[in-house]
Amino acid sequence: MVERLSCTVMPYAWGSRTAIAELTGRPAPTAGPEAELWMGAHPVAPSRLRRGDREESLAEIVARDPDRELGAEVRAAFGDRLPFLLKVLAAEEPLSIQAHPTTDQARAGFDDEERRGVPRDAATRNYRDASHKPELLCALTPFYALCGFRRAADTLRLFDALDVEEIAPYIAPLRSAPDPSGLGAAFRALMTMPDAARAHVVSTVVAACEKHAGVFVNECGWAVRLSQLYPGDVGVVSALLLNLVRLAPGEAIYLGAGNLHAYLGGVGVEIMASSDNVLRGGLTKKHVDVPELMKVLDFADGPIEILRARPLDAHESVYDTPAAEFRLSRITLSSDDGRVERVVRGPEVVLCTDGPVTLRGNAGGAPGLPLGRGSSAFIPACTGGYTVERPIPGTGNLYRATVNLT
């Protein structure tokens, strides 16, 4: 069984007014920003599909018969829920600087806030569930991001080039120890800077960035842009501690627990463990809890790894990550390839980015499901297998999301 999904578009302020609309074949520009297209069973905005003569949420369908929809192996590993969420993310403006906890940190933080009676929808809530939130972002367009702490020696070179006296006391711990411990101490000093000093320090650093024309010109250019969006926000300065990454279409980054990051701009396919746990560190008007953020951050320094898909066969390539909750791969085929058969080992969500393609469950007499560009489908574990066809000349592309159990 292969079933078309009806999905929610999340209208966050940083979203694009064109990207998701154009992908899904709707008029653009849209009246408001469209930031994320959600495909999955997350309780905040579960996808919907038609079973028989009624439309139901995927969350309800999974809850009613988890063995059929998820399979015994997935239930044993993750319980009676779809463990991943697939998205199209379209960032017209930068997202907040943020990090996610480990499973142990999430469970401890969630239990603590439950005991203290913090409402789960409270603006000051840090842990909305007891799960970690590893994620993978695969670029559909050129995509810019800040990811992880730059090599300490290079960060010192950047601040030496800016030559801003006002920032010196906050960077001093890094000069004393140009390693992860020094990075942690410098980051804490920046994040706990007295309110009376913050606006002046940020403005002087930005002014130096505006003049910089050396090796860090791209990093400084983003600092200037961030300051225009978030004037006086200390995140403008702490962003200068992070690696600036540009992804070409098809390239990806994996963000594990503790990785401080911010998506800056572009369109990509994102997959993550189904969790809402986000600890923010700036470039936002939302809650920032510095002590809790410091507990979860990984201050290891060095360049971020750019992932490229590893071929599995002539048609499918996979982005390898250590996350058990999800596995993202890309299927590419043309009308000359005939039928491409895939085996199902758990629940799947597939997204078509170049269509049309036709999906057909392997059960005898199963009807084909045509998918156009921007449309998606759910394939329950009980399906066993399915085929993909390209009905017209040209190349079709699918992103295939499932679990990463061996």
**Is the backbone peptide bond immediately before 393 cis, with ω within 30 degrees of 0?**
no
Nearest to 327 by CA among 341, 316, 336, 335: 316
Contacting residues for 155 by C-beta, under 8 A, at least 6 apart:
149, 174, 183, 240, 241, 301
Q: Which two tokens stand for residue 133?
A: 């939130």
**Which SS3 state, helix, strand or coil, does residue 351 take?**
strand
- Whether 342 is catalytic is no
Question: What single DSSP character describes residue 121?
Answer: T
Residue 223 phi, psi dihedral angles, 5° rounding: -60, -40
Separation of alpha carbons 245 and 341, rounded Å: 36
Which member of 150, 280, 342, 390 is catalytic? 280
The structure tokens listed for 161 are 């080039």
CB 58 within 8 A of CB 81: no
Length of the chain as a residue count: 406
How far is Cα 302 from Cα 305, in angstroms, rounded to an integer?
Answer: 9
DSSP assignment letter at 16: B
Burial degree of 163 (CB within 10 A; 0-12, 13-18, 19+): exposed
Residues labelled as active-site residues = 280
